[in-house]
Amino acid sequence: MLLGLAGSRRVLFVGGKGGVGKTAVASAVGYHQARAGRRVLVVSTDPAHNLGHLWHREVGDEVTPLAGDVQNLEGLEIDPARTTNEHLAAVGHQLRRLMPEHLSGEVDKHLALARDAPGTYEAAVLERVAQVLEDASHDLVILDTAPSGHTSRLMSLPETMFAWTEGLLRRQDRSAKFGAALRGLDPDAGAAGIVGTGRRVDQRAQRDHEIRRILLRRRTRFERLRDLITDAERTAFVIVLAAERLPVLETIELYGQLLRSGVHVGALVVNKRSPADAGGLLADRRAQEEVHLDTVREALGHVPMIELPLLAGDIVGEAAVQRFADLIATAS
């Protein structure tokens, strides 16, 4: 079921509460799909990256092979600091090009404040995710996301940014029409009868045209990303959870947030299930887990769910990922 979901999509988001095994699930699904012949890219958007640790190799902000035996599986860890710096540098370059030279100091002040402003990191990561999805030639891109709160905001941002950019375009259109009307009332300005006026009008028109071009490009990028992540035929979200009270409650809340953002939740993965036949303590724990899973079934019974067992060792390295992928194939 889970592997079939991944096999029929181009984008798979894997999310949930911190510590439930999102990176292991994302890596194992990616490994299985790559072994089946698809070219797969696993992208970590979590500031506290675990992808490199799990694969026991250096994975950075450039596409890197993950497995030795499977050549078509690659990974990428989005660097939040680099992403934010590059995002602000690009914005600063555009502003300085469009604004009068004497306002460059104000641009620097604005960017310094924006660096630590709420939403700057999410906007930068969103831009990078959009870029990765546009540029990637892979058959499947799996996004190993940050814990639930960050992820729900990230998934709602394409619609927010699209609407915000659309509003800026409408305001610029009104401003351009108003400026044209004023110039029409002033025959001297319209004919550039005053020395230098025509040049200023040309500069202003050129600036307005450049601003519009940038806004249209951003609107198109956010529109494509919004359409992609809300298309259930191309994209699905997998929520990983533990059969414990807080992860269960967070899963139900995350599902509601994703539903409101138009994102299709294709599966629930209950990880680290306690065995029923390994002593009284674990048997009692499994019984308690059943109580929490009843809560999930009552709230989200329509979402396919698989259960994966608690393992004795850590999932580190290609051999461990392969075993975990085989386990998922059996559970699915």
What are 48-76's pLDDT values in tens digits?
A: 789 999 999 999 889 999 998 888 999 99
DSSP conformation class of 194: S
Whether residue 158 is predicted with pLDDT greater than 80 in this model: the reply is no
What are 198-239's pLDDT values in tens digits?
A: 555 556 666 666 666 666 777 777 788 888 999 999 999 999
Element at 196 (helix H, strand E)? none
* Domain 2-82+123-157+232-331: CATH class, spelled out: alpha beta
Q: What is the pLDDT of residue 164?
A: 60
Q: Tell me the pLDDT of the chain averaged across its residues.
A: 83
- Backbone φ and ψ for 308, nearest 5 degrees, come out as -120, 140
CA distance 113 to 178: 31
Q: What is the pTM of this model?
A: 0.81
Q: What is the DSSP string of 133-162?
A: HHH---SEEEEEPPPHHHHHHHHHHHHHHH
CA distance 236 to 132: 17
Which distant-in-sequence residues (6+ apart) come within 8 Å of 329 by Cβ?
Answer: 3, 32
pLDDT grade, residue 281 (50/70/90)? very high
Q: What is the pLDDT of residue 165?
A: 64
Do residues 271 and 242 touch, judged by C-beta distance below 8 A?
yes
Crossing angle of helices 245-260 and 148-185, rounded to 10°: 20
What are 9-33's pLDDT values in tens digits?
A: 999 999 999 899 999 999 999 999 9
What are 266-275's pLDDT values in tens digits?
A: 999 999 999 9
Whether residue 255 is predicted with pLDDT greater than 50 in this model: the reply is yes
Return the SS3 of 237.
strand
